[in-house]
Structure 1
Amino acid sequence: MRASLIQIAVNPDESVDARRRRAAALVRDESASDLVVLPELWPVGAFAYEAFATDAEPLRGPTYEAMAAAAADAGVWLHAGSFVERDGEALYNTSLVFSPGGELVCSYRKIHRFGFDQGEAVLMSAGSELVVAPHPELPFGLATCYDLRFPELFRGLVDAGAAAFVIPAGWPERRREHWSLLARARAVENQAYVLACGTAGAHAGVEQAGHSVVVDPWGEVLAEAGRTEEVLTVTLDPERVPETRASFPALKDRVLGPRAPH
């Protein structure tokens, strides 16, 4: 199967509406792919804290409508990155996954909020549910940016049936080495594909790392982007996951933590 990660640039001079239209056009351009991925909080920027409340949307708001239409037009599975969702008085960092028909398959509210008692950590509420998108060839678990630092989340996704992880992010350039290291670690320890899609440009003055990356279940980097806006496309073999888990069955030796029943 063919997957495309759209490492879109967040330009402060571009309006949210204009970027939404541009992102939809980029998705439509990837009609040859089976799965298309956008990054974290691309409508507003992951560090544009002052815009969170003003640009927040309901779940089925403008971003939902634009991405549902783009997925249907392109005929692709679309992980539409994340946006600021408003639910009553609460804000969430929410990801949406659409089917090739444009139907909402699932959504995920980011569990681990970044900021150490400031920024996202205080402005947004935390999600609480693990989510696996039921892609027919490669079921993928949903995680977002800072979630990448918490391996127990990914173990839970494996127990829920994930053969891959899709991780949109707004990861800063100054911690880019952590991004690359953790993406490979999550792939190796869970024997799963990792599709980690970052942004280019700057979010509220915070330079972004870019370097979207696709890692296979053995930890090999299949493709990696640079720092500027680009589309990273790679071919995945879904059989690689069960083959890796069978040839090196480390997951069966787990002792600590919950496991799915045999």
Structure 2
Amino acid sequence: MTVAAVQAEPVPGAVAGNARTAARLVRRAADRGARVTVLPELFLPAYHPPTLAADPAGTDVAADPDGRVDDPRLAPLCAAARDGGTAVVVGAAVRHPDGRRTISSLLVDRTGTVRVGYDKQQLWGGERELFQPGDRGATLLVEDWRLGLGICYDGCFPEHGRAAADDGAHGYLCPSGYLAGSAHRRDLYYAARALDNTMYVVFANAVGGTDPWRFNGGAAVYDPEGRPLARAADDGEEVLVVALDPAALAATREAHSMLVDRLPDQGRTRTASAA
């Protein structure tokens, strides 16, 4: 299966314009055969806390009780997914019927239908002042592939990626928003999640912006040993398209069998006295 990791710069608060940008990038990915295209965290409103705080009504999309999103601003993106035959994972600020506001990944399926795919569980820093955390993981099924969903800070926790692997994930999709100055952690966390769990990792990141909300790109797709199959520069727009190989996945898991060798009481400790 072929996937795409997108690196791009959205405009703060411009949901309709950012949806058009996303549509253009999704078409680029689909033209190169992508069956799943991943865009950065909060791409639709842009990751810009001052704007998200000042204009929640304008920056949020609303979900119905079944998690469906029907927002005319997303029409170009829906058309691009439908025309290109690619599922799209794109970051959004979502208002739920119970009033919760979450950092979420929307799933635009190949019919152009939009649903909330996953709500970010691990909120970072000031995000806690604007959003509520999700309470469960999620796995996306595409053809014969199981793809766990995470968002940015989720991927900093080994347990999150392992929960996806425990649910049978072959890959882990991580829309993110890494700031300038964080390149070391950006390049370490997601490679580690790939190797920890012998699964592919698709890391999409924002780029551009103005300090202190300036983002550092570096979008990448990692193989199940944590090696980059493709990586973008720290600036500029990019669409990385990579074919995931089930044979390579199987061979890696046979050679590096951490998932099956893990002890059932892994990490349990006891205290001994030296007295």
Q: What is the TM-score with the length of structure 1 in the denominator?
A: 0.89
Q: Distance in 2 between matches of 1:138 and 1:125?
A: 30
Shift of 1:209: 1.3
Deviation >4 Å, runs of 4+: 63-66
**CA drift at 1:65:** 4.4
Residue of structure 1 equivalent to 2:62: 58
Between the two proteins, the alignment pairs up a number of residues equal to 253
Matching of residue 192 in structure 1 with residue 195 in structure 2 = no
Question: By how many angstroms is 1:35 displaced?
Answer: 1.6
* Partner residue, 1:84: 93
1:229 to 221, 237, 246: 237
Distance in 1, Cα, partners of 2:77 & 2:157: 29
Gap change, CA 1:49 and 1:90, over 3 Å in 2: farther
Contact 2:104/2:116 (8 A) holds in 1: no
- SS of alignment partner, residue 134 of structure 1: strand
Give the root-mean-square deviation of aligned CA atoms: 2.1
- SS of 2:246's equivalent? coil
Measure how far apart 1:19 and its partner are: 1.8
**What SS is found at the alignment partner of 2:93?**
strand
What is the letter of the counterpart of residue 68 of structure 1? Answer: C
The 8 Å contact of residues 114 and 146 in structure 1, kept in 2 or not, is answered as yes
Cα deviation per residue 1:91-140 (whole Å; 9 max; x = unaligned)? 1011122332334576100000111xxx2112101101110101113211
Q: Which residue of 2 aligns with 1:17?
A: 16
**Correspondence for 2:249:** 241
Residues in 1 aligned to 2:26 and 2:265: alpha-carbon distance in whole angstroms = 38
Instruction: Give percent identity, aligned residues only.
Output: 29
For the residue of structure 2 that corresponds to 1:97, the secondary structure is: strand
Distance 1:50 1:244, change over 3 A: same
Distance verdict in 2 for CA 1:257–1:4, change over 3 Å: farther
Deviation at 1:30?
2.3
List aligned pairs for 1:147-226, cutoff 5 A. 147-202=154-209, 205-226=212-233
Separation in structure 1 between the aligned mates of residue 18 and residue 194 of structure 2, nearest angstrom: 31
CA drift at 1:235: 2.1
- Structure 2 gaps of 5+ residues are 64-68, 267-275
User: 1-side partners of 2:116 and 2:51: how far apart?
Assistant: 28
Segments of 5+ residues of structure 1 without an aligned counterpart are none
Q: Is the 8 A contact 1:39 1:197 kept in 2?
A: yes
Matches of 2:220 and 2:173 in 1, distance apart?
A: 10
1:132-147 mapped onto 2 (5 Å cutoff): 132-147=139-154
How far has the Cα of 1:15 moved from its partner?
A: 3.1
> Could you tell me how far apart the structure 1 residues matched to 2:88 and 2:17 are?
20
Contact 2:198 2:256 in 1 (8 A): no
Q: Write the distance in 2 (CA, Å) between the matches of 1:238 and 1:49.
A: 43
SS in 2 for 1:44: coil
Q: How many Å apart are 1:239 and its aligned residue?
A: 2.5
Partner of 2:2 in structure 1? 2
Change (3 A) 1:70 1:243: same
- Between the aligned partners of 1:28 and 1:57, the Cα distance in structure 2 is 22
Give the alignment's TM-score, normalised by structure 2: 0.85
Partners of 1:172 and 1:147 in 2: CA distance:
16
Going from structure 1 to structure 2, the CA distance change for 1:257 and 1:66 (only over 3 Å counts) comes to farther
CA distance in 2, matches of 1:17, 1:140: 28
